[in-house]
Amino acid sequence: MKILFIGDVFGDAGRLAIKKKLPELRARMGIDFVVANAENVANGKGLTPKIIDELREAGVHAFTAGNHLWDAKEIIPYIKNSKCLIRPANYLATAPGSGSQVFDVYSGIRVLVISLQGQLMMGQSVDSPFVAVDRELARWQGRAEIILVDMHAEATSEKRAMGWHLDGRVAAVVGTHTHVQTADEEVLPGGTAFISDLGMTGPYDSVIGMNREMAVRKFVTQIHEHLKPATGDVRLCGALLDVEESTGKAKSIVRIQEKVG
Ligand SMILES: [Fe+2]
Ligand SMILES: [Fe+2]
């Protein structure tokens, strides 16, 4: 199965990039299933039901999240009943939504998607993603042929450790959150595809998505201001995974970085 995992979709530029580019990418690469991290798609902070519907129409099947998930409050009632939007599994058990979902991609092949958030340098207190992912895997045992994990985290060490923790047990561990694509993609010895960060789908003439003049001024003056999303040099970033359906192991992982002009 060919799976496209798309990194943090950022603001209007990212949303439009998906709509413009994804149908063509799916046809060109023969992609069967698409997951996107959508924590930044509503103006850079959060996501809304309307945007999720729009991205589904463009060809995204599953959505993972992260620290910006709750920024747009209308997502709270939506996520309670959503079968496509997944919050990090290591949030409080009382948090709305669920940390994993199974998708029937085609006859007899089910894909389990698990969302996690790191504990290091994230400015939020969450439970251990390592304990949480073991719990999720035990809960779904035997009910999915292919398992994908989004490790939304700042620290490459924590992401890399998650790759090794799950090697041989899942098809892929992909990192999100930093908005900077890393060049360390590989299939680990046990058959788990890994990359520290998929990169951002959004405007690269920016500071990780935000207007660069404003972002630089904020660092220089140390005076807080509300940053606006940038618009230039839009790219769709992520990774293309080829997964053997009979074993649930990855055959390959290829970095994707497509200009959207
Ligand atoms: Fe993000
Ligand atoms: Fe994030």
Rounded to the nearest whole angstrom, what is the distance from the C-alpha of residue 154 to the centroid of ligand 2?
Answer: 8
H/E stretch holding 36: strand 33-37
pLDDT per residue as tens, the chain (261 positions):
999 999 999 999 999 999 999 999 999 999 999 999 999 999 999 999 999 999 999 999 999 999 999 999 999 999 999 999 999 999 999 999 999 999 999 888 999 999 999 999 999 999 999 999 999 999 999 999 999 999 999 999 999 999 999 999 999 999 999 999 999 999 999 999 999 999 999 999 999 999 999 999 999 999 999 999 999 999 999 999 999 999 999 999 999 999 998
Kind of pairing between the strands at 249-259 and 109-117: unpaired
What letter does residue 73 receive in the DSSP assignment? T
What letter does residue 253 receive in the DSSP assignment? E
Rounded to the nearest whole angstrom, what is the distance from the C-alpha of residue 246 to the centroid of ligand 1?
Answer: 33
Rounded to the nearest whole angstrom, what is the distance from the C-alpha of residue 245 to the centroid of ligand 2?
Answer: 30
Residues around ion ligand 2, judged by CB within 5 A, are 66-67, 177
pTM of the model: 0.98
Output the CATH code of domain 2-259.
3.60.21.10
Alpha-carbon span 118 to 126, nearest angstrom: 8
| Nearest ligand to residue 8 Cα | 1
8 Å CB contact between 238 and 212 = no
List residues with catalytic annotation: 68
Q: What is the CA radius of gyration of the chain?
A: 17
- Per domain, the residue ranges of the chain are 2-259
